[in-house]
Amino acid sequence: MEKNWMTNTDMIKTSSQRCLKRLLEEPPDNVAKRKPAPQVPHPPTTGLSPFAGTRNPSPKSSQSKAPSRVGQYTLVERYEGEEVYRAEHSQTKKQFTCQVLSLHSYQDFLIAYNRIGQHESICSLLDTVICGDRAYVFLSGHYGDMHTYVRRWKRLSEDEMRHLFTQVLNAVSHCHQHGVILRDLKLRKFVFTDKNRTRLALLSLNDCTVLYGNHGDDSLTDRHGCPAYVSPELLTNGKGSYSGRAADIWSLGVSLYTMLVGRYPFQEMQPAALFAKIRHGAFSLPEWLSPQAKCLIGCMLRKSPAERLKASELLMHPWLTSPSRPHRSTHKTQRSSQQVLQIKQEDNQVVPTWTEKAQ
């Protein structure tokens, strides 16, 4: 059933983004003098925790409702998060992913797709329907996004992640080589393209920036990103420029950490506290992670942008290139009930619940 309202979680997300906007537009000194933000009685947005639950929707929202029929497509249901829908062709019944964009965003979207061409780890643009001031972009159908997958399984094995993260890096490296900076990188941007959930692809190039002229100069000045994935330099450089590629690499580090550990490396209930942790740049790594996995995460989550490896260099890291056991694509159906119970008990120790933190 299509949702046409804003949940409490969406309200918190909006608050987080406003806080992020203030921090990005003001010098650090002004931020330090600001009074602490009042406590919000709701759980944090999924941008602050991958396991924050969704509240019951409130009908008192002015969020626009997309039409259920667009051209020859029917918008079946809205995915959690951004304005993205599962769509079905009225004649062939084939499944698609529909992303709704403004016409201005659609122009940038097309430029980016023309720049990168076809790639196996990036969802292809299949069709577009222009309706008024909006563009309905139809991409390949998928079997769920990585954010939902991590929320379900809490944390993933290194063998599985070695296989999946290689595909993530291939997509990002390809974009960077063609002068496309993704900016808003997060787990939700990557989706499974097969039923066994062994193949990942970047859902779309929405919110990206295309570099012109010298692709080597990736200096950006606009601030954009999900609060949990934003890099320290976006919070500390005031209105100065920053490296777009290096900011993407930081977001990849947050993603890999979350997939392997089951929580974000920087996690707080309040946005201001979250951004303070990110600016500091210190995080902890569980002892049970392999040394190579710790090294790879450390190569991305470097406070200094110049010290972060490039996406093409990360693909040569020993954690990805060293031999590993065969990947078991159906691992979730092969676990015994005792193993599942043990995993849940371990996850309760790794991932705090928000009711416990509120006490």
Q: How far apart are CA 344 and CA 283, in angstroms?
A: 23
- Give the CA distances from residue 188 to residues 66, 290, 326, in Å, rounded to whole numbers and listed in that order: 21, 25, 26
pLDDT of residue 337: 45
Backbone angles phi, psi at 349, to 5 degrees: -85, -30
Regarding whether 120 and 173 lie in a shared domain, the answer is: no
Regarding whether 328 and 195 lie in a shared domain, the answer is: yes
Give a yes or no: residue 356 inside a domain.
Answer: no
pLDDT of residue 341: 44
pLDDT of residue 154: 84
pLDDT of residue 224: 79
Give a yes or no: residue 8 inside a domain.
Answer: no
Regarding whether 344 and 242 lie in a shared domain, the answer is: yes
Give a yes or no: residue 330 inside a domain.
Answer: yes
Tokens matching residue 264: 């974000």
Q: How far apart are CA 116 and CA 266, in angstroms?
A: 32
Along the chain (359 residues), what's the average pLDDT of each consecutive run of 10 residues? 41 51 47 38 42 43 63 88 86 93 90 93 93 93 91 90 96 96 93 93 91 87 87 83 95 97 92 92 93 96 96 96 52 41 40 30
Would you name the residues annotated as active-site residues? Answer: 184
pLDDT of residue 10: 44
Q: How far apart are CA 59 and CA 119, in angstroms?
A: 41
Q: Are 183 and 207 in contact (CB under 8 A)?
A: yes
Tokens matching residue 47: 């941008």
Give a yes or no: residue 275 inside a domain.
Answer: yes
Regarding whether 250 and 113 lie in a shared domain, the answer is: no
- Of 150, 170, 151, nearest in space to 160 by CA: 150
pTM metric for this prediction: 0.74
- What is the C-alpha end-to-end distance of the chain, expressed in Å? 35
Regarding whether 230 and 260 lie in a shared domain, the answer is: yes
pLDDT of residue 190: 95
pLDDT of residue 128: 94
Domain boundary among 77, 105, 140: 140
Regarding whether 233 and 150 lie in a shared domain, the answer is: yes
Give a yes or no: residue 27 inside a domain.
Answer: no
Domain boundary among 114, 140, 166: 140
Q: Are 281 and 301 in contact (CB under 8 A)?
A: yes
Which residue range is the domain that position 311 belongs to?
A: 146-348
pLDDT of residue 354: 25
Give a yes or no: residue 56 inside a domain.
Answer: no
Regarding whether 244 and 182 lie in a shared domain, the answer is: yes
pLDDT of residue 64: 53
pLDDT of residue 28: 43
Tokens matching residue 78: 């809205």
